[in-house]
Structure 1
Amino acid sequence: MIVSPIRQAPLGEQLLVQLRALIVRAELTAGTHLVEGWIAERFGVSRGPVRDALRQLELEGLVETRRRGVYVRGLSDTDLAELYALRGALESLAVRESMARLPGGDWSVLHTALDRMWAAADAGDSAAFAAADLDFHSGFYAIGGNRRLAATWATHRELFAAMLDVTNATDRDLRPIAHDHAALAEVVQAGEVEPALAALAEHLDGSLARMRSALTSRPDVAPAS
């Protein structure tokens, strides 16, 4: 497992990003005992940021508190199915509400994200591609203008970002995925609700399948206790 000291503020947020990624990539496997002192020493932070990070990871369902401390739960296939079912429900509503803005609405957020995706795909930059991918999907929430719906998506976005980092890193050619996003944007902007929702469902099913495939090749590591 490769880790690096954290020196940028806010420390809790930086630590959270690293721990979340390690769990999603299964470099911290299910059953690993997350000892506050070990984490603080390994990442070069105090115990306060550690507690904050573990609290958020528990809200995300990646860790759980037991009698003797906090342990990694990881991501099972059931977790993936639940997460994508939730995402599908949220994003379907976001797409419906964004389409209700047609023929108006500011759709530039989608096109800007697509431009970034194409550029990242051409450069082979999976991290930049993942960031643009999430911005693309978040664009539906922004266009629809439902603040509470957008806030609900925001509570899950960072977990999906970590998951996308895993799947995109395994894809040698990201251009087909960029093309899929462009096709989805085109169908949505065409204004027909049912075809748009069907295209979204197919798109998310593909994302789930790629995530499942990536997780089957995750390395196992010994628990750190």
Structure 2
Amino acid sequence: MDRLAVDQVRQLPLGERVAHQLRMRIVKGELEPGTHLVEGALADSFDVSRGPIRDALRRLESEGLVESRRRGVFVTGLGEDDIDELFTLRESMERLALTRAIERADVPTAADQLDARVAVMAKAAEDKDPTAFAEADLEFHTAFYQLAEHRRLWAAWEQYRPVFAVLLDVTNTQDRDLQPSVASHADLVRVFRSRDTEQAVAMLSEHILSAGRRLRTRLRAAQ
């Protein structure tokens, strides 16, 4: 099984477990755009009832990975425009999260917590474990949404976080050297600690948008 770590996936509700597996296959291109997702066949494949399948398909539709048509549910996949939308949306949301975090949080304590997450990323990079790195990377960025104290912003992040988890897992697997990413996160914590909102936001924006550009380049090459 691809990770989120196996134990984390097992803790998810059944519909979320199915959604995770389908999401991974869609992002990796194993389920191509236009593929008809038949409830009965999926229920047999995952050895579950149709209820969790419906829950999974509704979740994936909210993420823009599948769409309902008159004849059923079909994979839409992720093209370059989808990647652009996802990463520009995330950049806008996370700029707000970071700004509010600097304004509202106990910055020294929050920065210490962020440094601890960077240390986990560094260990994963040293161990050449891209999946553990992706999990730590996502936890690092999720911290800004937690610190922002903004319910609706948090809800928006929760909607798209599973997609970004898969994107990170897939892209980090292709990166031979994760140390530059560790360094860029450590630099962001340093600026966050200084409360320099303008510089922190600029660094964050470049970090997120450059990740989107790299992913679009890889998608173009794969096609």
TM-score (norm 1): 0.88
Q: Does 1:189 align with 2:193?
A: yes
**Secondary structure at the counterpart of residue 106 of structure 1:** helix
How far did residue 195 of structure 1 move? 1.4
Task: State the partner residue of 1:222.
Answer: none
Classify 1:210/1:147 alpha carbon distance in 2 versus 1 (closer, same or farther; 3 Å): same
**Cα pair 1:105 1:143 within 8 Å, conserved:** no
Do the aligned partners of 2:114 and 2:189 also contact (CA within 8 Å) in 1? yes
Match of 2:70 in 1: 67
TM-score where L is the length of structure 2: 0.89
Counterpart residue identity of residue 188, structure 2: L
Q: Tell me the equivalent position of 1:54.
A: 57
Give 3-state SS (helix, strand or coil) of 2:96's partner.
helix
Task: After TM superposition, give the deviation of residue 102 of structure 1 in Å.
Answer: 6.4
Instruction: Give the direction of change, closer, same or farther, for the CA distance of 1:63–1:195 in structure 2 (3 Å limit).
Output: same
1:123 and 2:127 are equivalent in the alignment: yes
**Which runs of structure 2 are paired with 1:23-172 in the superposition (5 Å)?**
23-101=26-104, 104=107, 106-107=109-110, 108-172=112-176
Residue equivalent to 1:223:
none
Paired with 1:195 and 1:77, the residues of 2 have a C-alpha distance of 29
1:44-75 Cα shifts (integer Å, max 9, x gaps): 22211111100110111100011111000001
Distance 2:88 2:109 in 1: 27
Letter matched to residue 80 of structure 1: I
- Segments of structure 1 that go 5 or more residues without pairing to the other structure are 220-225
CA drift at 1:182: 1.0
Return the alpha-carbon distance in structure 1 between the equivalents of residues 147 and 10 of structure 2. 36
**Deviation per CA, 1:73-114, whole angstroms, max 9, x where unpaired?**
001111111111111111001111111136646313312211
Higher percent of residues as helix: 2
Secondary structure, aligned partner of 1:100:
helix
1:171-210 aligned at under 5 Å gives the runs 171-210=175-214
Give the drift of 1:218.
4.4
Whether the 8 Å contact between 1:102 and 1:189 is mirrored in structure 2 is: no
Select between 201-210 and 130-139 the one with higher mean Cα deviation: 201-210
More moved, 167-176 vs 144-153:
144-153
The CA deviation at 1:214 is: 3.2
Alignment correspondent of 2:6: none
For residues 104 and 11 of structure 2, the distance between their equivalents in structure 1, rounded to whole angstroms, comes to 40
Gaps spanning 5+ residues in structure 2: where? 3-8
The answer to whether the Cα contact below 8 Å between 1:106 and 1:143 also exists between their aligned partners in 2 is no
What amino acid sits opposite 2:71 in the alignment?
R
- 2 CA distance for matches of 1:68 and 1:142? 41
Give me the whole-angstrom Cα distance separating, in 2, the residues matched to 1:218 and 1:189: 40
Give the RMSD, CA atoms, in angstroms: 2.1
Query: Could you say what secondary structure the match of 2:104 adopts?
Result: coil
Q: How many equivalent pairs are there?
A: 215
Matching residue's letter, 2:92: A
